[in-house]
Structure 1
Amino acid sequence: MGFACYYVLLFVVLWGPLQELQFVLFLCETVFDRFLTLFQQETPLIHVLHYELSSLYCLVLLQFLTTDYVDDKVGGFLLDLDFKLNEKQLNNKQIRIGEETRKLLNHLTQKERETFFEDVRKIYHTTAEYFKKNVPLKNSFLSDVQILHPSYRSV
């Protein structure tokens, strides 16, 4: 697990309920851990940066949006998606929060569960908004430099 995930976990442990901690742990392990681990390597990885950023943003969107809305989009086309459309949101039973988190919800009142899912959506929307503003998926240089990937080399 990356350093940023540990920091967020520490914050939630100190100030948040257990289901929120479990949800953040789910996000770290399922969504962000692979990306963070990959880019901690010593080797140059600029040739995979565009692809990996696109995959990461897509993975974030698939946690709370319908598959048919997101699935065939890549790169800059992901940035064009309106992730706030109500009809494209997953419902509370479908939204991805992790099984351990879902088990903890059984101990909450209906009102607490509703508040929890509102908070989860805010987290996903804030994350998606951050990606939309800051991730260079429409950067032609990052897209073009993928040609340096070894799989593009001919024998």
Structure 2
Amino acid sequence: FQKEGPLVHLLYDELCDLYRTVLLYFLSPEKQLTTKKLQIGEEAHRLLVDVSASDRVTLFHDVKLIYHAIVDNLKKHLPLKNTFLKDLHVLDSASRTKPDSADTMIRVGRAIPKLLSDAEIDRIRHEFMMYAAETIDQSWYIKNKYHDSDGNNHTEYQQIDYYWNKTLSLTTSFGLPKYPTLSEIVKNILIISHGNSDVERDFSINEHIVVIIFY
């Protein structure tokens, strides 16, 4: 997840995928995997050829304990119950026309301390409904489409800040910003760092940055 550009709107789904992936190393949808089906890697399997049966039993028992410990640690420390982080998917262009997205954006606006007045929160729904009905140029969120050597289709997406910079630059017939309240929310969300590398880089630029993490 070490990439340039804001990715905080994808962070919750990435964390859920990480947690789910570790679970699948030793669980099936119905029950725990048998010893033979535990995921330990190809090189480890090759090394086990010269290991006695009793040592293999011990090893797989220990592997299962390690997986349990990893899952317990992830469950304890990952913000999987953080509704604010979960709601940030609303910034994705694909969420624009989803039925509950306006409510989600309102929750996000309410959750940011001292950002919006009650009147501004009331305007979120109207602005989001207008945004959902907006004609958005595909080039604002899709950077490139191509086929690989096997004929598979691939889509390369624009960075989320590029998309919102284009969207928030739209104006009314009077030349006023169409989405001033959404602009306040989006700009405050996209400055939240999504990983350690961004935090370290930010502090190297300005040691007085304050990072607010919502738990």
**What TM-score, normalized by structure 2, do the two folds share?**
0.43
- Equivalent in 112, 119, 130 of residue 62 of structure 2: 119
Instruction: Identify the residue that residue 102 of structure 1 maps to in structure 2.
Output: 45
Counterpart Cα distance in 2 of 1:43 and 1:95:
37
Give the number of the structure with larger relative contact order, counting CA–CA contacts within 8 Å between residues 6 or more apart. 1
Q: Report the residue type matching 2:13 in the other structure.
A: Y
Shift of 1:137: 1.0
Say which one has the larger Rg: 2
Paired with 1:106 and 1:114, the residues of 2 have a C-alpha distance of 13
Aligned to 1:79: none
RMSD of aligned Cα (Å)? 1.3
What is residue 51 of structure 1 aligned with on the other side?
13
Deviation at 1:49, TM superposition (A): 0.5
Structure 2 residue corresponding to 1:63, chosen from 9, 15, 25 = 25
Post-superposition, which runs of at least 4 consecutive aligned residues in structure 1 deviate over 3 A? none
Q: Aligned partners of 1:144 and 1:129: how far apart in 2? A: 24
Aligned to 2:49, the other structure's residue is in SS state: helix
For these two proteins, the number of residue pairs brought into alignment is 98
Secondary structure of the 1:93 match is: helix
List runs of 5+ in structure 1 lacking aligned partners: 1-37, 70-87
In the TM superposition, what whole-angstrom CA distance separates every residue of 1:92-148 from its partner, at most 9, and x where no partner exists? 111111222112111101121111101111110010000111111111101111111
Residue 42, structure 1, aligned to residue 4, structure 2: yes
Distance 1:92 1:42 in 2: 40
Per-residue CA deviations over 1:55-74 (Å, capped at 9, x if unaligned) read 110000000001x24xxxxx
The residue number in structure 2 matching 1:129 is 72
Partner of 2:33: 90
Alignment of 1:14-25 (within 5 A): none
Give SS of 2:37's match. coil
Matches within 5 A, 1:139-150: 139-150=82-93
Q: CA deviation at 1:151?
A: 2.5
Question: Aligned with 1:41: secondary structure?
Answer: coil
Structure 2 counterpart of 1:150, which letter? S
- Specify the code of the residue in structure 2 equivalent to 1:54: C
Higher share of residues assigned strand: 2
Corresponding residue for 1:72? none
